Structure formats: C-alpha cells, structure tokens
Amino acid sequence: MCPNCFPSTAGLAPGYIIALTICALFFLVAIGVMYMASRSGHLEDLEDTKFRMLDD
C-alpha cells in the first residue's frame, strides 16, 4: 500500500482546509438567512400566492 492512501497518516492539505472553511461559512450564512426569513414572516404562507393568481 502507498503511504498516502490513508488520510490519517497523510493529513489534510491546506487547500482542503480552506475549502471546508468556506463551505462551513456558506452553510452558517444560509442557516442565518433562513432563520431571519422565518422570524420576519416571509415563509408563513407560500402557497397563497399561486391561489391568488388563479382567482384573477
């Protein structure tokens, strides 16, 4: 077996650490935006818009 086949012996390259950090930041921002949208009422009645369109 090659010595770089096992991640525990090779470690993570700096590029992977940066990529994982960016992904974690995007995830936290998305969770924050969803939380703010739910608190402000933007996610309350999503189905009503399509029914109002059919009434016209």
For 2-23, how does the pLDDT look when each residue is reduced to its tens digit (9 = 90+)?
Answer: 656 655 555 677 888 899 999 9
Whole-number Å distance between alpha carbons of 14 and 53: 52
Go through 8-35 and write b for each residue having 16 or more CB atoms within 10 A of its CB, e for each that does not: eeeeeeeeeeeeeeeeeeeeeeeeeeee
Over residues 27-50, the pLDDT tens digits come to 999 999 999 999 998 888 778 877
SS3 label, residue 42: coil
Q: Give Cβ neighbours of residue 10 (< 8 Å, ≥ 6 apart).
A: 3, 4
What pTM was estimated for this model as a whole? 0.61
